[in-house]
Amino acid sequence: MILLIVYGSELLKLMQARQTKLINSERPIPRGSQPTDITLMYSNGSMHEDGDENNRTVGWGIVGYHLGYEVFKDRGGLGQKAEVYDMELTGITQGMKAAKEYVNKNDQVKYIHIYADNTAAVTLAYEPKPKPGQLQMIHTTYWCPGHEDVKGNERADEEAKAGVEIWTQDYTTLTNAKRTVKEGALERWKREWQKSPPTGGFAIANRLEPRWKPREHVTHAPREVFSRLTQCQTKHAFLGEYYAKFIPNESNRCTCEDIFQTREHVIKECPKHERHRDILREVDAQLELGILLGTKKGLEALAKFLAKTGAFTKTGEIRKQKQTPEEEDEENEEEEERW
């Protein structure tokens, strides 16, 4: 027996090369069209909730095909303290066991094709470092599209949903324990955030509820732009009002004219940046700082605005990318370090 694992498009190329169509994604697998030396195994995981996070159960399901016929199937569950991710891995394991048993009784089968539609289970199972649920894995597995009318995948999903209904002893998995701890920590963080009154320069920007995943204005903005955006939100920036409070020897006048430089002036009034201020007006015509600094759309627009202007730089000009450090850059870095 040879175990062959193929990824969506690679499978198609392989079958086309052999001039044999293995799967028709729009219809059940046609009997007699599958090569005699190939067995297909599909696995899936499922979760059921009754509107209560504490009353959720998970299950796995598998189905195998040979010569277009369904030749084996199975289902099961792990109770209320496991995740769908665990079910995907368990399904792959149980599916391989069932496929091996079938192959051992059919000498004509030389290949087993394994399919799972959970990319996390597929890609993380064989990372160099141990991952949650990895002990469930015994073979390499690749992805196939879910909910795309692939006959085998839909049947495995049916079995998985049936597996959810099977009573079983609860098994607390590492994946479930990590999710529970992480959700609990986030809930405590949110409660602390809600009851802590906003103070300081960041108060007006402190409107977005805490979460673990970085928001788009963080992940999509260049590092230098994100740095200025954060400085703008906290008022710890190249600003006259910052200098007046912390570095009184520095000039607190704006580079556009002899006027006290504030965060509001730079964003709403400074003529040096008027050309690109329409980016901000698309979000709020009044350029309300609370909206620009404390909402998702406002921060995304402000990041675009900063990328096109020199707002909140030392000179008020766009910083040019230089190949080698210069004295001015070193001075800026030294001042930023003092913050």
pLDDT given for residue 136 in this prediction: 40
Q: CA-to-CA distance for 50 and 264, rounded, in angstroms?
A: 50
pLDDT given for residue 146 in this prediction: 59
* pLDDT tens string 146-198: 556 677 778 888 888 888 888 777 778 888 889 889 999 999 999 999 999 88
- Helix (H) or strand (E) segment spanning residue 233: helix 223-234
pLDDT given for residue 325 in this prediction: 43
* pLDDT tens string 40-83: 889 888 888 765 666 788 889 999 999 888 999 999 988 888 88
Q: CA-to-CA distance for 99 and 38, rounded, in angstroms?
A: 11
Q: Hey, what amino acid is at 255?
A: T
Q: CA-to-CA distance for 63 and 37, rounded, in angstroms?
A: 17
User: The tokens of 155 are what?
Assistant: 């049947």
Count Cβ atoms below 10 Å from residue 196 Cβ, excluding itself.
9
pLDDT given for residue 176 in this prediction: 86
Q: CA-to-CA distance for 103 and 225, rounded, in angstroms?
A: 58
pLDDT given for residue 126 in this prediction: 57
Contacts of 215 (CB under 8 A, 6+ apart): 208, 296, 299
Stretches in the chain below the pLDDT threshold 50: 1-28, 134-142, 322-332, 334-339
Query: Tokens 């079958």 map to which residue?
Result: 15
What is the pairing mode between strands 56-66 and 111-116? unpaired
